[in-house]
Structure 1
Amino acid sequence: MSSTGAPTATINLHIETTDIQTAPGVSLSTSQKTVVGSILDLFAGRPSLPKLALWRDDATFTDPITIATGRDKYAAQWYGLQSAFSQIERLHHSVTDAGNPILMDLKTRYVIKGINKEQTIQSVVAIHLDEQGKVRKVEDKWDGKLPDSSIANAFRHLNAVTVPKVIKVPKNEEEDAKKGN
């Protein structure tokens, strides 16, 4: 991270996704590539404390099953992927807009642990950055949509509170390394 807080290098972050696909005419800055690569790693079930350091403490992750605001809640969602799925395979990604939010089409195949049920999710991911280039919000819109009813949102908030009680997020680099991150 530079003194401005903007992400600058992928080496210290151990970002695995460095080949960022973009739609024709879309060009990402170096810091945008770092953020997008780290987000793609998170969706692949490869979280780490350095990657989550690119997020604000008060950031929000939202998808059709959760609205997780705050580091303890959104970090548990990302670390929870390792517990919930035996396989995660990215089938396709393409950044379609380099603005703010950065927009990306994403298609991922998940295999649920224990029951070996396979699910492919096609989504539009919106990555909102703050003035310092840190992640403020990530929206994972399955089939391009998020639910917007009071009942659905109540369950999404419940998920965000429940998952951190079940999923242990590493507290330091040593615990993170033990998880293979």
Structure 2
Amino acid sequence: MSTGIPNVSPNLNLETKDLKTAPGVSLNENQSTVLRSILDLFAGKPSLPKLALWRDDATFTDPITVAQGRDRYAAQWYGLQQAFSEIERLHHEVTDAGNPILMDLKTRYVIKGINKEQTINSVVAVHLDSEGKVQKVEDKWDGKLPEGSIQNVSSLLDFARPMWWINYYIAWAFWIWSFAWETKKKMTADITAQAFRHLNAVTVPKLVSVPKNEEEDAKKGN
């Protein structure tokens, strides 16, 4: 299958076969391929070929993370497999074929271990560069993202690493807790939300193993 993007493996094995579009919305082949791959990612079905549709410096952002760069955004997608026992897509519809492409998405998640169930309604904005690769994906829960900014906390984590990484389960629990916390709308201060989003982006790559090649990817069932 041709992706319409140079130097990308044709072996995408996309599980999302059909895209639902609003009346009057028409997608070209590249847009369709990219969106189907992104829906697979949201369903907890990542793979290296799917992420090859993204730029190395691309960004994924939602209310609990701002993940820029391949190491960080790839960990977010592969982390879904480890964090959730169930992921069910309830609805999707592409509403705008511009740039960004806009898509309504409704997904049900069940968190492993605590069996917390949460349904997220999102407006997903997909920004493509001039070559048709993914430059940014914004997952806006209830159509919103936290506003403002805060300094990246990676330097603080480097300083704290000897204590922070004594127990990986503590850090893993942070990611799960931040998901549960945000879905209950308990992040009342914007600066707090921004701090957690950057902390999440630094934390998750330490906990999630991203395959280095297609052989490792296949062992994960991707």
Fold-level similarity (TM above 0.5): yes
The offset of 1:4, in angstroms, is 5.7
Mapped to 2, the partners of 1:14 and 1:165 lie a distance apart of: 28
Mapped to 2, the partners of 1:51 and 1:2 lie a distance apart of: 10
Which residue does the alignment assign to 2:51?
Answer: 52
For residue 208 of structure 2, what is the amino acid of its counterpart? Answer: I
Instruction: Name segments (4+ residues, structure 1) moved above 6 Å.
Output: none
Rg: which structure is higher?
2
For residue 175 of structure 1, what is the amino acid of its counterpart? Answer: E
Answer whether contact 1:106 1:124 (CA < 8 A) is retained. Answer: yes
Answer whether contact 2:5 2:133 (CA < 8 A) is retained. Answer: no
Which residue does the alignment assign to 1:178?
Answer: 219
Mapped to 2, the partners of 1:44 and 1:3 lie a distance apart of: 23
Which residue does the alignment assign to 1:157?
Answer: 198
TM-score by length of 2: 0.78
Structure 1's unaligned 5+ residue stretches are: none
The offset of 1:18, in angstroms, is 1.8
SS in 2 for 1:145: coil
Aligned-residue sequence identity (percent) comes to 78
* Alignment coverage as a number of residue pairs: 179
Deviations 1:24-78 (A, max 9, x none): 1101001100000000000000000000000000000000000000000000000
Larger proportion of helix: 2
The offset of 1:14, in angstroms, is 0.8
TM-score by length of 1: 0.95
For residue 199 of structure 2, what is the amino acid of its counterpart? Answer: L
SS in 2 for 1:89: strand
Mapped to 2, the partners of 1:4 and 1:18 lie a distance apart of: 19
The offset of 1:5, in angstroms, is 2.9
Larger proportion of strand: 1
